[in-house]
Amino acid sequence: MPVEWIAEEDCEGANEKWLEKFKSGDFSGKSKEDIELFFKAMIDFGKKAEDDDDLEYNELIEDAVMQYETLAIFLEVRDSDLKYVQFFTEDEQKIGHYTDNWKDVAEELGAKSFVQMEMIDEAMKQIMSGNPNTDSFFFAGTLTVDGPIKLAVLPREWIVTYYEENGIEVD
């Protein structure tokens, strides 16, 4: 299989671990462990947020899934083997590491809506830092988008909401 999915049980407790790492500032946009912990934390938080009607994190993702049915967001860190796909359906949200061509993976997943972003590690770190506005990287050519821009910017609100609902103000 072209995607090595991160098991849901491997995400348990990741939110607390990521927030601790985030607050220390000791993380990198080119570290497989840090990137995976960031994504695991968002999944872990999403599971916890399912039971809290005051949190809008899951609602934002659900709205996107309702609009796009199945959604795959591919992120690649330039000059590395760090390739991740976030896959969303009505029934699940998961993250995995892939090695094949992203378009082949999208087809295999049956994703109706998808986008791929390839970026330098500084852009990935900025996203992980809670500032998902990577326009400056895009216009500098250090972040490229293959697919609809509207899908590329979709996770921005999710990331900001994730941090805010964890009590962290971000720019």
The 3-state DSSP class for residue 115 equals: strand
| pTM greater than 0.85 (yes/no) | yes
The pLDDT value recorded for residue 27 is 97
Q: Which fold has domain 3-165?
A: Nonspecific Lipid-transfer Protein; Chain A (3.30.1050)
Q: Partners of 84 in the beta sheet?
A: 75, 97
Distance CA 2, CA 72 (A): 14
Ordered by start, the domain boundaries in the chain are 3-165
Residue 79 has what pLDDT? 94
pLDDT at residue 1 is higher than 70: no
Structure confidence by residue, pLDDT tens digits, 50-69: 777 778 998 999 999 999 99
Nearest residue to 101 (alpha-carbon basis) of 112, 91, 114:
114
pLDDT in tens, 74-94: 999 999 999 999 999 988 889
| Percent of residues, the chain, with pLDDT higher than 90 | 85
